[in-house]
Amino acid sequence: MPAWEMNVRKVIPYTPGEQPDRAGIIKLNTNENPYPPAPGVARVLQGMDAGKLRKYPDPAAGELVSALSERYQMPKEQIFVGVGSDDVLAMSFLTFFNGDKPILFPDITYSFYDVWAGLFQIPYECQPLDGEFEIVTKDYLKPCGGIVIPNPNAPTGAEKDLQELERIIAANSDVIVIIDEAYIDFGGESAVRLVSQYDNLLVVQTFSKSRSLAGMRIGYAFGNEKLIKYLNDAKYSFNSYTMNTVTIAMGVEAVRDEAYFQETVGKVVATREWTKGELHRLGFVFQDSKSNFIFASHPKCQAKKLFEALKERGIYVRYFAKPRIDNYLRISIGTDEEMKALVAFLDKYIGENLWLN
């Protein structure tokens, strides 16, 4: 190893889901929304005056913060925005997790948390989910450097009861508790209403899933005024202009179209419920998902083989070759037609292959 390499920050990066460049595939592997974003978003694109891009964007993304403030009835001083919730979460790890004690998060969870902890050299301790893949409240009632919990959890899709989460937040008033609500709009109960009661709570959400804007990169957080100020201080010490002019304008359109939001979220939820019924009929087992995906296992069919067979047929789902979850598939909810195609394939495959395992 050359001497200079000793001083390199070495990290094991996050592995995002595949974005195959194949026509005609059914893509159920990265929890994207199958419906386009609100019509106002496309109008921003069409009506964009390129001359506007001559100037730097508003570093505070004021218009987007105002739109979120109206929609969520939250003072502007309590809202932070960033380039996807990944940016908001990374900035939060950097800002809030500077103690000596380890931060806590589940062992089976969003696989970016340990990556950020590694990058920022934050000590962490994973708390195992129980046999039913549930988060165990008492594991989070102990001295620590901070907590991050996704609700619903990923990749299980399971919701944790808000009262239980409140116990965790209340018991950890000395550290910051981050609730990552990437999937909350698909039927879970949000912790946003607890923000006014707990100054150690940060609730993070995203436009990527329920508002169909994964490609645009918009995330946001709600918290006590002081938390938001500290987040902005860190952001302005790193890169002031993270959100561009076009993104800000599109974000505003997406938040303001409440009717479209409700309609598309409703469709995804209805399709998810139908898919649950079909997967049960086929013998799959899974927790009751409150997200836009189902994390399912088949007692008589190996997940890895099924994953490969699906891929061959042009249906992409997510498979994690990790301890405890290597016999599960995470299936994002697509359109009704896409889910029918999936179920038709599974019907046939399971019928033909049960005897192989």
Ligand X SMILES: *Cc1c(COP(=O)(O)O)cnc(C)c1O
Q: Which residues bind ligand X (CB under 6 A)?
A: 31, 84-86, 110, 150, 154, 180, 182, 206, 208, 214, 219
Query: Smallest distance, Å, CB 29 to ligand X?
Result: 12
CA distance 337 to 274: 12
Residue number, 115 or 301, with CB nearest to ligand X: 115
Query: Smallest distance, Å, CB 148 to ligand X?
Result: 10
Neighbours of 349 (CB within 10 A): 18
Query: Smallest distance, Å, CB 184 to ligand X?
Result: 10
Residue number, 211 or 298, with CB nearest to ligand X: 211
Residue 185 is classified by DSSP as: G
Residue type, 272: R
For the chain, first and last CA: distance in Å? Answer: 46
Query: Smallest distance, Å, CB 341 to ligand X?
Result: 24
Residue number, 13 or 24, with CB nearest to ligand X: 13
Residue number, 243 or 301, with CB nearest to ligand X: 243
Query: Smallest distance, Å, CB 27 to ligand X?
Result: 15
8 Å CB contact between 191 and 165:
yes
CA distance 349 to 351: 5
Residue 199 CA from chain centroid, whole number: 23
Angle 14-243-40 from CA coordinates, rounded to 5°: 105
Q: Could you tell me which of 176, 234, 205 has the C-alpha nearest to residue 85?
A: 205
Angle 40-42-47 from CA coordinates, rounded to 5°: 90
Alpha helices by DSSP H, the chain: 39-46, 62-72, 84-96, 113-119, 162-171, 225-236, 245-256, 258-281, 303-312, 336-353
Q: Can you read off the two tokens belonging to residue 192?
A: 């946003």
Query: Smallest distance, Å, CB 119 to ligand X?
Result: 15
Query: Smallest distance, Å, CB 355 to ligand X?
Result: 36
CA distance 171 to 197: 13
Q: Could you tell me which of 224, 152, 229, 155 has the C-alpha nearest to residue 183?
A: 152
Residue number, 139 or 180, with CB nearest to ligand X: 180
CA distance 79 to 278: 40
Residue number, 82 or 298, with CB nearest to ligand X: 82
Residue number, 78 or 206, with CB nearest to ligand X: 206
Residue number, 57 or 150, with CB nearest to ligand X: 150
Query: Smallest distance, Å, CB 325 to ligand X?
Result: 15
Residue number, 289 or 298, with CB nearest to ligand X: 289
Neighbours of 131 (CB within 10 A): 7
Q: Nearest residue by C-beta to ligand X?
A: 84
Q: Between β-strands 103-106 and 124-127, what pairing exists: parallel, antiparallel or unpaired?
A: parallel
Residue 266 is classified by DSSP as: H
Query: Smallest distance, Å, CB 251 to ligand X?
Result: 12
